[in-house]
Structure 1
């Protein structure tokens, strides 16, 4: 997987940070999942290698404008750019009204099937490779966090062990790799499970919407390879963060530490902080959770 921060600011666009949007690209097929779609997200995409027609799922954390105002334009542009595959949008109650009203009033006609899913807590999507779980956070409006879990993969086929047991390469190896039980020419029955190494653990990526520090954040981030957590304010602004249902740099780091994540990226940075302030914000979080980086627009992370 590959993650691109398309917007890392809070509230409204700023000179160096656009409002929130994150793209998660699946390298096995090139498909892209978008998390939030703030104003001018499609402009940000123009500076990347992301193709709008490859976006097949959009997950909205909550319905504040800095997370959804870019959505109608992107949906229309995807159609103009020969996007014909179905697109699924997931989000809180109200996302359907927002999208359908925007498209109707602007007379935007899509060339692809658009499926809108108003979600509740739990597993909201699953396929043979991964699943995604949503939980409610602590924000002034309904806000969700998303936990993307890649399913464990079977271990490598133990070729040398097979050869030692007199089982030479051939079509049978594929059956054993799939864990099947097969009968050999000499009458022996063997199970592929006996010739596989340990399972390869899938990766976990947690992307949270706007929130105060809460238990749901920690649960969603448990043992994640990567946590993306808002840090709208610095450590000295805990009172105002609480008042506006947001988090500080230190609070984001505390979630990462308590959840046992491997890496933390802080984002959704208030425009009150100039570029010269960013290293200090990162330092504040690192004092609690050393493996922290402050995100910036167009940063690409290979997972």
Structure 2
């Protein structure tokens, strides 16, 4: 599992940062890519990565401001041209289906694959299967905006092969049965319960990706025990009043949310064009006074989401 930032800027593109889009790379977990927001020129950014549009399985839109959705029609069209035939699901606030359908209709664009729209009206679980669960909460922005919490299911424990070898259990089909948790009878008459030879389950990982928002308790709910929290940082320390007036957050407020939620890592994005170079890094330095494991991200940064953290959901 990896997080790749396709755009990290706020409002409009700059020479240093494209507007918002984030890819959650789940190639090992489900051979798929999930996108969170699709700002203008997202497909141009994708050309600079190893992402293949046909692998994009789900798109989660946080809100309908242009810097988060204007790249959507073009990406959907290009996905069709590039042999993307698998169905695609788009999640987002009410109006996202109308935006996409109108764009495609007016431009007379025909897609070679079906799109399913899931328009969100309230907090709750919006997707789950045997590998992941995704839930959302309403944030505090000028228009309806959602944050997303992605929870990976726990991985089954590994078969303790050395323990079996110590008991002189012959390798072969019996190992597969024991790994499945079955009870087997050995040729010498011994009966073994597979559950006694399977290690502890490996906790799944949690990734929280927020849209634009003021500081709000809903962010902490989504980020509870998260391995990675992606939070906007449009404003800097000392600009709390301005952030509130514009329905955004400061780096300090993002750090406070990460600390309150007991997150493991904080990645700051949605950076204003006012902050470049060392000024952008200063946002992270400010946040580290409250939450040490903080970083300001740049376009095309890729972060591994490691195993090893426990969760208490």
In the superposition, the TM-score normalised over structure 2's length comes to 0.93
Q: CA RMSD in A?
A: 1.4
Alignment of 1:25-44 (within 5 A): 25-28=25-28, 29-44=30-45
Q: CA deviation at 1:91?
A: 0.8
Once the two structures are TM-superposed, the CA of residue 33 in structure 1 deviates from its matched residue by 0.5
Distance 1:8 1:131 in 2: 25
What number of residue pairs does the alignment pair up? 303
Cα deviation, residue 302, structure 1: 1.4
- In 2, the alpha carbon distance for the partners of 1:25 and 1:153 equals 18
SS for the counterpart of 1:235 is coil
Aligned-pair distance for 1:274? 2.7
Q: Which residue of 2 aligns with 1:173?
A: 175
Aligned counterpart, 1:54: 55
CA drift at 1:188: 4.7
- Residue by residue over 1:145-198, the C-alpha shift from the partner in whole angstroms, topping out at 9 and shown as x without a partner, is 111111111111112222333422111211221222334445554322111111
Distance in 2 between the 1:26 and 1:174 partners? 26
- Residue 56 of structure 1 and its aligned partner are, at CA, apart by 1.2
Supply the distance in 1 between the matched residues of 2:248 and 2:183 (Cα, whole angstroms): 54
Report the Cα offset of residue 271 of structure 1.
Answer: 1.4
- Residue 76 of structure 2 corresponds to 75
Determine which of 149, 154, 158 is the counterpart of 1:152: 154
- Cα distance in 2 for partners of 1:91, 1:139 equals 14
In the alignment, structure 1 segments of 5+ residues that lack a partner are none
Unmatched segments (≥5 aa) in structure 2: 306-313
Moved more, 108-117 or 166-175: 166-175
Q: For residue 15 of structure 1, report the CA deviation from its aligned partner.
A: 1.5
Q: How does 1:207-218 map to 2 (within 5 A)?
A: 207-218=209-220
> How far apart, CA to CA, are the structure 2 residues paired with 1:31 and 1:49?
13
Deviation, structure 1 residue 206: 0.7
CA offset digits 1:84-127 (Å, max 9, x no partner): 11111111111111111111111110001111111232111112
CA distance in 1, matches of 2:72, 2:295: 28
Distance 2:58 2:285 in 1: 34
Q: Secondary structure at the match of 1:36?
A: strand
Give a deviation string over 1:248-303, Cα, whole Å, max 9, x none: 00000111111111111000011122333112111111111111000110101111
SS of 1:154 mapped into structure 2: coil
Instruction: Find the residue that maps to 1:44 and give its secondary structure.
Output: helix
Q: Which residue of 2 aligns with 1:22?
A: 22
Which is further off, 246-255 or 117-126?
Answer: 117-126
Q: Which moved more, 1:103-112 or 1:123-132?
A: 123-132
